Structure 1
């Protein structure tokens, strides 16, 4: 990868705005506002929006967010007249009052432990601290980056990703039974109750979806 392309990726979302065609922005504004705008007006709107997004991406994190959610999203972006595959790394913070806020995101070529480390360091430089619990999928690099960035925090595997991983290993004709077992187990009030509910899995499920079990 060239140095120029490497510099472009890894920046916040304002870079994606620069890669969105004026034609597409014009179409969106027309649908939202019910009228057409000139290309110059659309260009001015995009520029102002970019400034606002940049200010948002660099804002200080003055509140405390003891709970974090981290995930990656695959997307297509337009850069240098070409559509390219990229990944958006997204971190959501949750306050003690339960208020959620997107703390930051980063556009990268692919999800790696190093890219997550860079994003977490950027958040810490902006003031993020005292993270007590972090939830994510089982991406090894992500879990490691979380533990390194926030020593002592508890890592929890995302239940939605976990269920998806289990169902991927379950034959299609047993999906309904497996989903019911997962729901009952994960919604238990205690670890002991969860074990009891899991042990109630029918033999048909244990034999037909042994890898998932």
Structure 2
């Protein structure tokens, strides 16, 4: 075992102790230990101690250079030994690189979990006694880019996804010195083994047929096969893109959105009975009963002009909203709406709210992608498609 000897700066340490600056004492001790360790490493590399004449000597000492290392007690400045040929390398920085890496990963994770860059700099300063700039935190988060891009472009051809959910949410992004609204497209699915999976995301200018088509084409390029059912809201551009890109696939209009659309058209007063009949329709356990109860509602209120708009919405969207009834009973509750995807959007929104305005599109993709990856690995994949 290597024996270390220290030439302590006793005056400095005594002053630190007397002034009760324990952090300074710890830092000074660590500097002494690590400097001496590197000195011994150089001796072993040279096969000769200082001023020793030896035929086994490999090289000669060539002074020192300073290098900083960040540890849990803060930033340390070490004297790194050199040799003339420049081939000597200490193992100290390799051994303690995990401290730097842990700090970086912690900073990144804080940002992903919705902590503002300003708050991150304050936390790091409290933990390490060192100040980091907001620009440093931002640059560190860019280390996520290759990881997120790999995940967002991973192959999807090894699994068949019979049920796919699609939805969009809106965020604010700074672009060309202006704040603009952009759409974030997210796709999730339920596998044949009844497991949920997040398929991918995209950030585009507007929610349109063209942008939805691009997103679905990207999923197809990664190996997605046409599913049995796609569940979404009734956005016209999205519906058209689904019909074009997933030929032979049934479209399920989100049950929750549909009922909300009907209720929005109801008169403000005296619509309680109408609402109960709507609930009766969608609580029915067979397609036949659902259609029967719907016809009864249409007939009962056909002559009341106050309900004309609500009845139009019900009649035009009804068949698209009950397509889930054509699938196995055990899966119906999970495929009749986009509620599971809405909850995922809320997780994204919870972190996005802290940022408020993204500096650019890439930063938005980075944060949303990181949140989705984290959610997939820690929660989403553990849930069965079937409700409990």
TM-score category, normalised to shorter length: 0.7 to 0.9
Residue 117 of structure 2 is aligned with which of 22, 26, 33? Answer: 26
Instruction: Give distance in 2, aligned partners of 1:133 and 1:146.
Output: 10
- Cα distance between partner residues in 2 of 1:33 and 1:161: 44
Corresponding position of 2:235: 139
Kept after mapping to 2: 8 A contact 1:174/1:209: no
Match among 98, 107, 132 for residue 38 of structure 1: 132
1:124 CA drift (Å) = 0.7
User: Offset of 1:122 from its aligned partner?
Assistant: 0.5
Cα distance per residue 1:163-206 (max 9 Å; x no partner) = 12112211233565444333321221112211333355495797
Max Rg structure: 2
Q: Does 1:211 align with 2:306?
A: no
What is the CA deviation profile of residues 5-59 of structure 1, one whole-angstrom value per residue up to 9, with x for unaligned ones? Answer: xxxxxxxxxxxxxxx9xxx741464799996772255124311223322222111
RMSD: 3.2
Please give the TM-score of this superposition, normalised by the length of structure 1: 0.75
Distance (Å, rounded) in 2 between the aligned partners of 1:32 and 1:153: 50
- In the alignment, the residues of structure 1 paired with residue 144 and residue 225 of structure 2 have an alpha-carbon distance, to the nearest angstrom, of 29
- 2:207 match: 111
Q: Deviations over 1:45-86 (max 9, x none)?
A: 311223322222111113211111112212212335532111
TM-score, normalised with respect to structure 2? 0.43
Q: Deviations over 1:65-123 (max 9, x none)?
A: 11111122122123355321111122212112222222122222211111111111100
Q: Aligned residues, how many?
A: 191
| 1:29–1:145 CA distance, 2 compared to 1 (3 A) | same
- The equivalences for 1:143-182 within 5 A come to 143-174=239-270, 176-182=272-278
Gaps of 5+ in 2: 1-110, 312-388
Q: Which segments of 5 or more consecutive residues in structure 1 lack a partner in the other structure?
A: 1-19
Which position in structure 2 is the counterpart of 1:94?
Answer: 190
Determine helix, strand or coil for the equivalent of 1:56.
helix
Distance 1:172 1:31, change over 3 A: farther
What is the CA–CA distance in structure 2 between the aligned matches of 1:35 and 1:176, rounded to whole Å?
57
Quick check: 2:121–2:132 contact (8 Å CA) kept in 1?
no
Alpha carbons of structure 1 residues 82 and 171: separation in structure 2 relative to 1, 3 Å: same
Aligned counterpart for 2:293 among listed residues 184, 197, 211: 197
Structure 1 pair 179/69, CA: closer, same or farther in 2 (3 Å)?
farther
Report the Cα distance in structure 2 between the residues aligned to 1:195 and 1:34, rounded to whole angstroms.
64
SS in 2 for 1:119: helix
